[in-house]
Structure 1
Amino acid sequence: MPSRRRTLLKVIILGDSGVGKTSLMNQYVNKKFSNQYKATIGADFLTKEVQFEDRLFTLQIWDTAGQERFQSLGVAFYRGADCCVLVYDVNSMKSFDNLNNWREEFLIQASPSDPENFPFVVLGNKVDVDGGNSRVVSEKKARAWCALKGNIPYFETSAKEGINVEEAFECIAKNALKSGEEEEIYLPDTIDVATNNQPRSSGCDC
């Protein structure tokens, strides 16, 4: 069988602990949501194949721990990223205020060749909570922050309800593609792209 042309796109999800990073990833890849909260230890990743314009891409989505004690692991996981997703909880002002720290930390650790134009996408998660009555960060405030940082694409999501998750990751994939186009790899269909390009993290059930 002839080889198909694939591109591996590495996406990193960052944000405070508990904002829903793991839930967003699981909703997108597995169409599942769990009410049981379990903090990510270190980092984990899932992969999903997506197709644009008759080309096949493997999205490798890295879910990193939000706790500060794991942030020293950042360098290894951030390097080679094609897009960074910043997630906050619309019901937590602190998680929104910390977006800047996560963005700056990523740029320092990942050292992208063109930091000014590196693609970020911001997700305001948990819009479903309490029917929106617990919300403390307005969409206007979030969009204003994104505009100041170079017009970062912004989506309001609910990992629980699946609101805007598919649309957000479609945007993430397209932005990753713009940044990672030059890293095309040619592999037979039988090869697992993810395991041949990154080491598995412990406890990964991909």
Structure 2
Amino acid sequence: CILVYDVNVQKTFETLQHWHEEFLEQVDPTDPETFPFVLLGNKVDGGSSRVVSEKTARDWCASKGNIPYFETSAMEGYNVEDAFLCAAKTALANEHEQDIYFQGIPESISETEQRGCAC
């Protein structure tokens, strides 16, 4: 899961905890403590308008099990490729450990349901 906030808007950083918890609640992984996340602090091209320090973001990541952190600029393409490469590698490394099953969705369809509309 990739979480993104704007380094120039404090409120976006403050809502990270909510989105982190909401994601884990919706996905319900077998081990929430080790579910792979990556945090992106975006818009680092904003000059002096920055309000969330890199240290603050890294401290938050440390409190969540040392999740990877990248400072990015989508506008300038700064660090974006590295961030998504890390996310992809993390996902691939965890694909068998973090199987996600959605409750209420059958894994197979009965023969009756396959023949046509059940309306």
Task: Output the TM-score relative to the length of structure 1.
Answer: 0.46
Partner of 2:54: 139
Q: CA deviation at 1:181?
A: 4.0
Cα separation, 2, equivalents of 1:159 and 1:87: 11
Change (3 A) 1:95 1:179: same
Q: CA deviation at 1:116?
A: 1.0
Partner of 1:128: 45
Confirm whether residue 101 of structure 1 aligns to residue 18 of structure 2: yes
Residue among 92, 103, 106 paired with 1:177: 92
Matches within 5 A, 1:54-93: 84-93=1-10
Q: Which letter does structure 2 place at the counterpart of 1:87?
A: V
Q: CA deviation at 1:182?
A: 6.8
Partner of 1:162: 77
The SS at the match of 2:49 is coil
The SS at the match of 2:70 is strand
**Which of the two has greater strand per residue?**
1
Confirm whether residue 153 of structure 1 aligns to residue 56 of structure 2: no
Q: Which letter does structure 1 place at the counterpart of 2:53?
A: S
The SS at the match of 2:24 is helix
Q: Which letter does structure 2 place at the counterpart of 1:155?
A: F
Cα separation, 1, equivalents of 2:17 and 2:8: 17
* Structure 1, unaligned runs of 5 or more: 1-83, 184-206
Larger Rg: 2
Task: Output the TM-score relative to the length of structure 2.
Answer: 0.79
- What value does the CA root-mean-square deviation take over the aligned residues? 1.3
* Structure 2, unaligned runs of 5 or more: 99-119
The SS at the match of 1:174 is helix
Q: Which letter does structure 2 place at the counterpart of 1:164?
A: N
The SS at the match of 1:128 is coil
Runs of 4+ deviating beyond 3 Å? none
The SS at the match of 1:133 is helix
